Amino acid sequence: MKRLHGMELFAEVAKAHSFSRAAAALGVPTSTVSRHVAELERAVGLRLLNRNTRRVELTDAGRLYFERCRRIVAQAEIAHEELRDQLETPSGPLRVQLPAAYALDALMPALVAFGSRYPEIRLQLGVADLGPADRAPDIGDVSIRLGELPDSSLVARRLGTVQAGLYASPAYLASRGAPQTPADLEHHDCIGLRIGAGQAAPWLLQYGNERRRVPAAQRYGVNDACMARQLAVLGAGIAALGGEADGLVRVLPDWSLGPAEVYAVTETRLLPAKTRYLIDFLAHRLDPLAHLPETDAAAGSA
């Protein structure tokens, strides 16, 4: 049991790249984490982490050990939770990474409904940070991804599709007029969504079988859908938003963005009950008729 606890602490440090952040996530003193990881290194006879004043990085041995540890720890957690689920409802923190795109608007009502159904689960929501290309992102307990997924060792389950529309404030439209065709957007202030550190993605507008590709960031480029919504409310321009858009006016109402595929991505198929419940709940909300099994992301359907 002591060895397993050390492996759990080591895995958290490896994910957080920090002893202090790992300690905060687990709710234990930093000194406890440091002591247990040091004992684990002595037990295996190899240095697992390179420590400096700014960051903690895995050694080559540490990377190999981390891959084994996180699977063992996940299996142990699931075993405990499955027994606990027989006596009580799912509870505890659930870390969910959300896409920095218009799907965020469509997902929020579903997450609020899930929180109401399972009040003992504490949702910890964050916008997905893909991080540097040479480092795997922290996907939390589950990451909701939008659109085509890169090949990886992760496990993905399709949840459904979302669509978005273009919205602007009444004040903006009163001063600039409403676009009548997609080509008119070139003369408007558009609020584009950036993916990671890159440029804002173009808008792929669809009307029946007709499709138009429109540059989306003539003036503003943001990496968060909530920021795009707020800019639109303040009259800064036209934004692509999913879900409801209270206080805003739909422009080019015949045209939509999407449908875009939405996936739940996890590191393993062995999921705690609270994670399974969330994925199932979102699948029913986004696509009641589609209940497809999870697949390896590298297989191509993720």
| CATH for 74 | 1.10.10.10
Note whether 104 and 242 are same-domain residues.
yes
pLDDT reading at 129 higher than 60: no
Note whether 71 and 99 are same-domain residues.
no
Note whether 26 and 126 are same-domain residues.
no
Residue 301 confidence (pLDDT)? 40
Q: Which two tokens stand for residue 50?
A: 């390179």
Look at 161 and 100; give whichever has higher pLDDT: 161
Question: Looking at the chain, how many residues does it have?
Answer: 302
Give the span between the Cα atoms of 59 and 205, in whole angstroms. 47
Note whether 52 and 77 are same-domain residues.
yes
Q: Is 29 exposed, middle or buried (0-12, 13-18, 19+ CB in 10 A)?
A: exposed
Which of 39, 67, 85 is a domain's end point?
Answer: 85
Note whether 123 and 151 are same-domain residues.
yes
Which of 65, 85, 105 is a domain's end point?
Answer: 85
> What percent of the chain has a predicted confidence (pLDDT) above 90?
24
Domain count along the chain: 2
Look at 147 and 256; give whichever has higher pLDDT: 256
Residue 12 confidence (pLDDT)? 87
Which of 21, 54, 85 is a domain's end point?
Answer: 85
Note whether 76 and 110 are same-domain residues.
no
Tell me whether strands 203-207 and 256-266 are parallel, antiparallel or unpaired: antiparallel
Look at 2 and 27; give whichever has higher pLDDT: 27
Could you report the per-residue pLDDT of 160-203, keeping only the tens digit for each? 888 889 999 999 999 999 999 999 998 899 988 765 555 667 88
Note whether 179 and 73 are same-domain residues.
no
Q: How confident is the model at residue 85 (pLDDT cuts 50, 70, 90)?
A: low
Q: HSE of 297 in the Cβ direction (CA atoms, 13 Å)?
A: 20
Residue 94 confidence (pLDDT)? 93
Give the span between the Cα atoms of 115 and 122, in whole angstroms. 8
Tell me whether strands 203-207 and 155-168 are parallel, antiparallel or unpaired: unpaired
Note whether 255 and 295 are same-domain residues.
yes
Q: Are the C-beta atoms of 266 and 95 separated by less than 8 Å?
A: no
Q: Are the C-beta atoms of 242 and 146 separated by less than 8 Å?
A: no
Could you report the per-residue pLDDT of 215-241, keeping only the tens digit for each? 765 678 887 778 888 999 999 999 988
Residue 201 confidence (pLDDT)? 72
Note whether 184 and 140 are same-domain residues.
yes
Could you report the per-residue pLDDT of 54-74, keeping only the tens digit for each? 788 889 888 888 888 878 877
Give the span between the Cα atoms of 241 and 168, in whole angstroms. 10
Domain that includes residue 247, residue range: 90-302
Give the span between the Cα atoms of 40 and 288, in whole angstroms. 47
The pTM is what? 0.60
Note whether 99 and 135 are same-domain residues.
yes
Q: Which two tokens stand for residue 32?
A: 């406890």
| CATH for 185 | 3.40.190.290
Residue 26 confidence (pLDDT)? 82
